[in-house]
Structure 1
């Protein structure tokens, strides 16, 4: 495999419950700092914990009517702005027809939908804002980013539930590999911390009101979160021509569907395993070449058990495993992009962050989960797993560059 195999990551940006930028998020994850806390807006529900973003940065430069943007779009724009700064890209200087935007957003602008429904019920149709649909539709994070950047290449949103951010990376990789663009701006964004969405997950018994504890013996569900992660991907030749920063490479991608159940993972993880093996094959590496794993690790009983079994089968050399959801909660469609960005940072820092919330690993899970403190590990290749309701599986192989 040559150094230029795959596509190059030249920019990163993060907005999470740990803070409004990449540095604050990486610090919290690296330190194993939990960001979940009781949420006043959820106090009347059975589950009241969340990992909410307190301070969403304003679009830069400020967009007209930015106040009408849903929080998901505002977070996405903020993460993208950071990623472009890291990549040293100026939208005024690029060929807009050669720039793609691919977003992963699983639920759309539910804050906007909630406000419109409240007004409609109280005051009738005339009270509903004309900006309702432009804030609510799931493609509007993508449309807003493309409009903000003036990007005229392929633009699309993918919705594969909690795998959406990772699916967006794979889709962008395909656009670059097929020469439909030179630059792909990828963004996973979701802002789903509303009483109705939280109630929906609670009714499925997917949430914990105690803590996010991935792979722990006492795990009992995830803590819902919001946030955004952005990556700038480029064809290697294009990145080299402009002397772009090279943070890492997306060396492989694999996807599959369980076709098993609308919310439960396949108990044996057969198709999650197939996605993982496909990603390794595309990267041109053997299972033993994987130096660490950023697990999907949601803190659910069946999900963590399935993932651990897959990792034990495919990676018997037991590379260190971490889950960022112990620190940041589960940001649904944003999670795959956020965690891929964290995987890049871990490769560059030669560490595997600890899994916050993990104090007593389930002895039935035969994997090496990092807990307590970050572990020094020099990695050439790492895997980032994402699995979503509906049986969507997406695996990204990230390589040191």
Structure 2
């Protein structure tokens, strides 16, 4: 099969909208959480989130286009544009053959939920006459971001959306990896975006007892593995990767962040929103990823854990990690402590972090964690407090979603 490398990265995030700013804030251990500004949260139990700041859609498209796209699609376009520029790709100058061999697999767990809410509010505020925006459906449907990216750049390769809740964008990246190594495309744009900081979304996750209520200290609310954690912090944004067949990347002298070598998926087959105490779904997804990559557990230097800061989820994942890695000194951290939980875009943002960890030989810390939960298995090397410097050649990136979906990907340092 073909070898696959990552040649471009892009982010729109609560910690910055460029790779340089984003990574600087990650290394510094900065939290993106603050009081909600997208709507009045006064009556909500949770009144904070990790919002994207300083995003100007007019940097990427004109006013007429803004009206056509929900915010999740705007984030997708921006992040993918950044990644393509980072990779040195300009499809306006590319041949038809090149564009035919390039595809897009883009993920979102919620799609245009903001558009959906807005249209329903307008309908119920009126006289019952069905006056809906003609762009309502294309703004709302979850697959539209993949389609818009391809239309924008004239890309005729495989094009679709993956939806597996909070595992969605990791699934998209794994699918893009498989598409290239099987020879069905040469280049793939993959990632995910979310813009779900809306009343119904915040209210719904709150009703499911999933969100932190630490309203007096939002920057310290996401605290994976801590005995006092009380739920995740909702976030928004997008992460994008350009994946390429190795020979194609080398031929055009592309920058290479790392090589993708494996992906594994599985199911908890357990509960709508909960995870099993034995962490079996997480364990099996990781086993499948390492098997696919052809590496043994001792090769992994860093695990970017799903680590949402929920009571059941954190421990379940660590139990699965302990079962597979036993007492190996692999570094583990939960970067959602800084970014918040980007839901369907989490795997993409954390893939960016994983690749930058390889590039810079740095392992980001889990911030805010002060007292490790007694239920955390002994012997695990959880990095807390500050970023550490160490050699990072292989990274395992975990993501899990409601419905029991698990997806794990493996990146390595590129070498001839």
Give, in angstroms, the shift of residue 125 of structure 1.
4.2
SS in structure 2 of the partner of residue 189 of structure 1: strand
Distance 1:226 1:121 in 2: 27
CA distance in 1 between counterparts of 2:154 and 2:120 reads 32
Q: 1:101 aligns with which of 92, 99, 104?
A: 104
Q: TM-score of the superposition, structure 1-length normalised?
A: 0.96
**Higher mean C-alpha deviation, range 143-152 or range 386-395:** 143-152
Q: What's the CA shift string for 1:242-286, capped at 9, x where partnerless?
A: 111111011110001111111111221112211101111111111
Q: Secondary structure at the match of 1:161?
A: coil
Q: Corresponding residue for 1:27?
A: 24
CA deviations 1:77-98 (Å, max 9, x no partner) are: 1111110111000112332211
Deviation string, structure 1 residues 149-184 (Cα, Å, up to 9, x no partner): 111111000000000010000110111122111100
Shift of 1:60: 5.5
Q: Contact between 2:2 and 2:182, CA under 8 Å: does it hold in 1?
A: no
Aligned-partner Cα distance in 1 for 2:12–2:107: 15
Tell me the residue number matched to 2:118.
Answer: 115
Residue of structure 1 in register with 2:187 after alignment: 183
The correspondence of residues 219-238 of structure 1 with structure 2, limited to 5 A, is: 219-238=229-248
Q: Which residue of the partner structure matches residue 44 of structure 1?
A: 43
Give the Å deviation of 1:59: 6.0
Q: Is the 8 A contact 1:59 1:74 kept in 2?
A: no
Unmatched segments (≥5 aa) in structure 2: 215-220
Give the RMSD, CA atoms, in angstroms: 1.4
Contact 2:106 2:161 in 1 (8 A): yes
2:333–2:383 CA contact under 8 A, matched in 1: yes
Equivalent position of 2:217 in the other structure: none
Partners of 1:286 and 1:5 in 2: CA distance: 21
Spell out, residue by residue over 1:280-324, the C-alpha distance to the aligned partner (whole angstroms, 9 max, x if none).
111111101110110000000110001111111111203111111
2:13 is aligned, of 4, 12, 16, to 16
Unaligned runs of 5+ in 1: none
Aligned residues: 398
Corresponding position of 2:355: 344
The separation in 2 between residues aligned to 1:115 and 1:203, in whole angstroms, is 21
Q: State yes or no: 1:282 paired with 2:321.
A: no
**3-state DSSP of counterpart to 1:199:** helix
Q: Is the 8 A contact 1:57 1:75 kept in 2?
A: no
Q: CA deviation at 1:241?
A: 1.5
Paired residues for 1:173-322 under 5 Å: 173-210=177-214, 211-316=221-326, 317-322=328-333
1:157 corresponds to 2:161 = yes
Distance in 2 of aligned mates of 1:184 and 1:198:
33
Match for 1:362 among 373, 380, 383?
373
Counterparts of 1:144 and 1:180, CA distance in 2: 21
**In structure 2, C-alpha distance between the alignment counterparts of 1:144 and 1:171, rounded to whole Å:** 19
Instruction: Tell me how far 1:363 sits from its aligned partner.
Output: 3.2
